[in-house]
Structure 1
Amino acid sequence: MRVLDVGCANGDLTRAMASLVGRGGEVVGIDSSEEALVSARAIQPDPLSASIRYQRADLSRDLPELGLFDAIVGRRVLMYLPDAAETLARLARLANPGAIMAFQEHARADLPAGLSDLPVHRRWYGLVWDTITAEGGDVTLGYRLADLVHSVGTVIEHARSEGVLIQAWEDSFLPTLVRVMLPRMMEHGVASEDDVDLDSLAQRIDDERLISKGTIFWDLAFLVSGRFS
């Protein structure tokens, strides 16, 4: 198989696809950021995986030079594009007959939720999504994903919503997420360094998580895959 990973960033999904495809196949990862592609190329793929090629690409134009693919995939990329429907229509021109198109996207909801009030978690959920909005991201894209993939001529085979969960007995990923996103929050004026006490944040998150005594429903992810006739 030939697989196209759209908006590959540091290549996490690209390498996962290469592992699934195996030797004899090829996965092409495209992204608009050369910095991200440098990071992706620095990670050695599994020698038993399909060959990987990373390439800079502009999704606002047709890309016939990439050739045709048996699967076109992407994760958290359509929500950042000015016209996701138009981009998918262009990508559909790169699909072989019977090819799969599969994307995972997120959407903002009235979350987090759990067995108790979650003011710390809810504050940071709001700041994360406010940052995505400030960056021009479409915070409703996940709700329209199935319609978008269907509109380019696929028969929808899977349309699922997945809850991103934080469990009471597990270390929370939230402190790491906040640290990673804080520069972006500050750049767009969503939060200032004075608003954030990183030294105590992990403890406050843990305290709230343990008081909750149950699963915290953090976020929604949508996965849609369709197949061309």
Structure 2
Amino acid sequence: MSHVASPALALPPAVAQAAPNPANGPSARFFAEIGLAPGMRVLDVGCGNGDLSRLVARLVGPDGEVIAIDRSPEAMAMGHTAEAGLQAAPIRYRQADLAGALPELGRFDAIVGRRVLMYLPAAAATLARLAALGKPGAILAFQEHGRAGLPAGLGPLTLHRRLYDWLWDTVAAEGGDPGLALRLVDLMRAAGHGIEVARSEGVLLQPGEPSFLATLAQAMLPRMIERGVTSADALGLDTLADRLREEHRAAAGTIVWDLAFLVSARIARDA
């Protein structure tokens, strides 16, 4: 992946198994509608544990191919143990750092990523390098998340908002760009790529359903402490889940926790 730390809003593989991240929910709808077709060769950028890679592999089928790249061999090791399905393309994992020279990967019919550009200090330059790996007219599609003044709900949500701010402050402190998602369409247009899909989906926390936030906070706590964003005492991890649950109960309704920005374009034919 990038030279910054692993995504703050994406759980480490072992943690994600215990607490599914609802921020991944929009992916199945988005990547199914961008034009991926059987037989395509696809590059998944910042693949992590391969969750998106497996989704894409099923979309392009056994005659396709998915090359999945990430900086972390530990994250990719999880992908090797998970099956994409009998009717899925083979997935080949390669270690690569977007901050450095990429290995020889060939050309692609589509280049995709989820929560990767937001962690880069020079996303426009990275997009240009990635576009050079696409065939003329190839698909370039990303699901990114942006800081958007959330969460929102019927109650004050003081604790939820404090945690939201801590998470995004950590992203910024690690060199990421919390506003990248809101500029992604402009970045792609400026590079000459034709926008085909541009929309947003709310990531919702429903009353009475298990919340993934305490698990996310536990995974993020060492990084929040390292960057001076908060302390273990301020977070109060031992009671965090109960306090979040009680605040949500008092709000008596759905909480809009996050926004997923979904942008797909066609690579300029002279890129």
* Matches for 1:168-207 after TM superposition, within 5 Å: 168-207=207-246
1:64/1:94 contact within 8 Å kept = no
Q: Partner letter of residue 193 of structure 1?
A: A
Q: Confirm or deny that 1:122 pairs with 2:173.
A: no
Question: Is 1:218 aligned to residue 257 of structure 2?
Answer: yes
> Do the aligned partners of residues 60 and 203 (structure 1) sit closer, same or farther apart at CA in structure 2, a change above 3 Å counting?
closer
SS at match of 1:190: coil
> What are the ranges of 5 or more consecutive residues in structure 2 without an aligned counterpart?
1-39
State whether structure 2 residue 142 is matched by structure 1 residue 103. Answer: yes
Residues 146-205 of structure 1, C-alpha deviation per residue, up to 9 Å, x if partnerless? 112223332101111111111113222211111111121122221222223222211111
Determine the C-alpha separation between the residues in 1 that align with 2:99 and 2:225: 28
1:19-34 matches, within 5 Å, as 19-34=58-73
Of residues 190-199 and 27-36 in structure 1, the stretch that sits farther from structure 2 once superposed is 190-199
1:60 Cα deviation from its structure 2 partner: 3.5
**Alignment partners' CA distance in 2, 1:168 and 1:44:** 32
Name the CA distance, whole Å, in 1 between partners of 2:180 and 2:200: 13
Superposition pairs for residues 63-74 of structure 1, below 5 Å? 63=102, 65-74=104-113
What is residue 139 of structure 1 aligned with on the other side? 178
What is the distance in 2 between the residues matched to 1:188 and 1:124? Answer: 15
Q: 1:77 to 1:204 in 2, by over 3 A?
A: same
Q: 2:190 maps to which residue?
A: 151
CA distance in 1, matches of 2:44, 2:167: 25
CA distance in structure 2 between the aligned counterparts of 1:58 and 1:180, rounded to whole angstroms:
22
Residues 149/62 of structure 1: CA separation in 2 closer, same or farther (3 Å cut): farther
Q: Secondary structure at the match of 2:249?
A: helix
Counterpart of 2:122?
83
Closer/same/farther in 2, CA of residues 60 and 196 from structure 1, 3 Å limit: closer
The alignment-based identity, stated in percent, is 61
Q: What is the deviation of 1:44?
A: 3.4
* Separation of aligned partners in 2, 1:38 and 1:215: 36
Larger strand proportion, structure 1 or 2? Answer: 1
CA contact (8 A) 2:170 2:224 kept: yes
Native 8 Å contact 1:30 1:55 kept in 2: yes
Q: In structure 2, how many angstroms separate the alpha carbons of the residues matched to 1:182 and 1:60?
A: 25
**TM-score, length basis structure 1:** 0.94
Quote the RMSD (CA, aligned, Å): 1.5
TM-score for the superposition, normalised by structure 2: 0.80
Instruction: Give the aligned partner of residue 75 of structure 2.
Output: 36
Map Cα deviations across residues 62-100 of structure 1 (whole Å, 9 max, x no partner). Answer: 547211111100111111112110111111111112211
Could you list the per-position Cα deviations for residues 41-76 of structure 1 after superposition, in whole angstroms to 9, with x for gaps in the alignment? 233332321000000123235547211111100111
Residues matched between the structures, number: 229
